Amino acid sequence: MCGADFGVHVIMNAAEYNHPLATAPEEGAEMAKLIATVADGINFRSERYGHRGGLQQPDRLLYPEPPLDLPPDLDWSMGGKGATIPFVERAKRKGVTVPMWTACWIDPELGEKALREGRLDFVGMTRRLLADPELPNKVREGRLDDIRPCTGCMHCFDCRNKNKKLECRVNATLGREIVPEFQFRPAERKKKVMVVGAGPAGMEAARVAASRGHQVTVYDKEPRVGGLVLLAAVVRDTETQPLVDLVAYLRRQLDKEKVSVRLGKEVNAALVRAEKPDVLIIAAGPAHTKIELPGAEKPTFVKIEKLHRQLKRALTFFSPPTLVKLTKWWMPVADSVVVMGGNYQGCELAEFLVKRGRQVVIAHNGPEAELGDGMTNDDLANLWPWFKLKRVTVWPEVEYLEVKDNGLKIRVPDRRVYLLEGKNVMSVQDWGPNEALVKQLEGLAEEAYVIGSCREPGRIVDAIREGAQVGFAV
């Protein structure tokens, strides 16, 4: 059908698991030899029968903890990165001579090494190219620091699984390449732009606005950039390093685009009046709200605000990866906890606590469908059985009645009242838009925007999208 000058590569399973008739690695290598007689190249992957199980993206199989039946033929030594390379090596040893490759969370460094060592003939990448389609050009130009890092979150894949438009957590232009609001065009007039908050929303807005030629200054009241992403990095154990890399990438880009970054500087109305910006972008993150619940004043009740304060203080001394380890050793949290809130934040907190030896119950005052809201279907399919294994009970559709010394009193839909026992009750629900700051700053610049969790508490994908959109708009 196609001419001899058109390369045809075949993607095939080198090995399959969880079925008596599944392809064994030796069979996969033999099949590759046959396919090599008609194909110009082969892309090897592996798969598990039953639930997709994460073998297409081996790194995700390790979430929330590696299962006991990790397929032994893959290389798990780098957290799933490069996991399927051994299949390619096996096929090459068996005599397959057409170019062979695989895609498994390979980064440029590992890809280059595998090419030089002859373990791969091509480097396969999907997610890293969605996060930064310019990756190959940046590698060629030696600009590794400019590569926008994929955080491996699988939001892109989840969009596809849910029949939604493709979107990337870190690359706002993915899927919006022809959407007018996301088109790059140089600024018509250079404006003085003041950004409040160096979380992902503020940094992305600053990066894009500066790249278009505006004069941008970012302020943050904390002594470091990153906002809540650094806290997310601590809680999201398996994503810690990629999230830290994302913050580092954004910081580097601000320097590159000559954005002035002023840390430890809280913005108030007086500062805005003194600075007289043409454009004010308020990306100050969420505000903590009051919880009106009997017993909420008890010392056993821990508001998210307190948890965040403690984590932020700890981040002054330790990096997120160090904190991940230290909190496994010590944390000011009792051995049994009731978590109020069952969306992604509640589930993540529960997972974090369980991994640190705490017994956890989740109570959610909303419908069952909201449980895990904000997480991918794949992660949830791994998380629910893990919760069962760890005896985490999950109570949706409850009414919170009272915080007691020994737990949380709830009412379930059939009106029965129970006590969920726990020496601490922790809420992840006491936050909302930062209306007070917006009110204080409104009207102080001719052009003003409120973005990210300051406008509506959301996820990193929302913060980056809104940051980019405003960066393109100013």
Ligand X SMILES: Cc1cc2nc3c(=O)[nH]c(=O)nc-3n(C[C@H](O)[C@H](O)[C@H](O)COP(=O)(O)OP(=O)(O)OC[C@H]3O[C@@H](n4cnc5c(N)ncnc54)[C@H](O)[C@@H]3O)c2cc1C
Ligand Y SMILES: Cc1cc2nc3c(=O)[nH]c(=O)nc-3n(C[C@H](O)[C@H](O)[C@H](O)COP(=O)(O)O)c2cc1C
Interacting residues toward ligand Y by CB under 6 A:
11, 45, 56-57, 103-105, 125-128, 156-157, 160
Q: Which is nearer to ligand Y, 62 or 269 (CB)?
A: 62
Using CB under 6 A, which residues numbered 113 to 142 contact ligand SF4?
A: 127, 130-131
202 binds, among ligand SF4, ligand Y, ligand X, none (CB under 5 to 8 A by kind): ligand X
247 binds, among ligand SF4, ligand Y, ligand X, none (CB under 5 to 8 A by kind): none
Separation CA 464–CA 159 (nearest Å): 16
> Which string of x and - marks every residue 345-384 that binds ligand X (by CB under 6 A)?
x--x------------------------------------
Q: Which is nearer to ligand SF4, 79 or 366 (CB)?
A: 79
With contacts defined by CB under 6 A, name the span among 124-132, 140-148, 176-184, 277-285 that binds ligand X. 277-285
Q: Which is nearer to ligand X, 106 or 474 (CB)?
A: 474
Please choose, from the candidates 308, 345, 378, the residue with its C-alpha nearest in 3D space to the C-alpha of residue 64.
378
170 binds, among ligand Y, ligand SF4, ligand X, none (CB under 5 to 8 A by kind): ligand SF4
Residue 15 C-beta: closest distance to ligand X, Å? 31
Residue 207 C-beta: closest distance to ligand SF4, Å? 16
168 binds, among ligand X, ligand SF4, ligand Y, none (CB under 5 to 8 A by kind): ligand SF4
Residue 196 found at the interface with ligand X (CB under 6 A): yes
101 binds, among ligand SF4, ligand X, ligand Y, none (CB under 5 to 8 A by kind): none
Plot region of 278 (φ>0 → left; ψ -120 to 50 → alpha; else → beta): alpha
Q: Which is nearer to ligand SF4, 126 or 310 (CB)?
A: 126
Q: Which is nearer to ligand SF4, 39 or 150 (CB)?
A: 150
Separation CA 471–CA 11 (nearest Å): 39
With contacts defined by CB under 6 A, name the span among 79-87, 113-121, 162-170, 204-212 that binds ligand SF4. 162-170
Inter-residue contact 308 to 227 (CB < 8 Å): no
DSSP output for 68-114 = TT--TTS--TTTTTTTTHHHHHHHHHTT--S-EEEBSS--HHHHHHH
Question: DSSP 3-state assignment of 278?
Answer: coil
Residue 460 found at the interface with ligand X (CB under 6 A): yes
With contacts defined by CB under 6 A, name the span among 131-139, 213-221, 335-343, 393-401 that binds ligand X. 213-221
- Hey, what long-range contacts does 62-66 have (CB within 8 A, 24 or more apart)? 62/238, 63/238, 63/379, 63/382, 63/383, 64/237, 64/238, 64/351, 64/355, 64/379, 64/382, 64/383, 64/386, 65/355, 65/386
Using CB under 6 A, which residues numbered 139 to 158 contact ligand SF4?
A: 150-156
Using CB under 6 A, which residues numbered 220 to 259 contact ligand X?
A: 220-222, 227-229, 231-232, 235-236
Q: Distance between alpha carbon 177 and the CA centroid of its chain, in Å? A: 22
Rounded to 5°, angle at Cα 141 from 139 and 145 = 60
Dihedral angle computed from the Cα positions of residues 463, 467, 469 and 474, in that order, rounded to the nearest 10 degrees? 150
215 binds, among ligand Y, ligand SF4, ligand X, none (CB under 5 to 8 A by kind): none
Residue 142 C-beta: closest distance to ligand Y, Å? 22
Separation CA 465–CA 472 (nearest Å): 11
Separation CA 268–CA 128 (nearest Å): 39
Q: Which is nearer to ligand X, 266 or 442 (CB)?
A: 266
Termini Cα distance of the chain: 50
Please choose, from the candidates 218, 201, 304, 311, the residue with its C-alpha nearest in 3D space to the C-alpha of residue 258.
218
| Alpha helices, DSSP H, located in 132-285 | 135-140, 155-161, 200-211, 229-235, 240-256, 269-275
Q: What SS3 string covers 241-259?
A: HHHHHHHHHHHHHHHHCCC
Task: Kindly list the residues in this chain that would bind ligand X in the complex (CB under 6 A).
Answer: 196-202, 219-222, 227-229, 231-232, 235-236, 266-267, 283-285, 344-345, 348, 437, 452-454, 458-461, 463
Task: Kindly list the residues in this chain that would bind ligand SF4 in the complex (CB under 6 A).
Answer: 127, 130-131, 150-156, 168-170
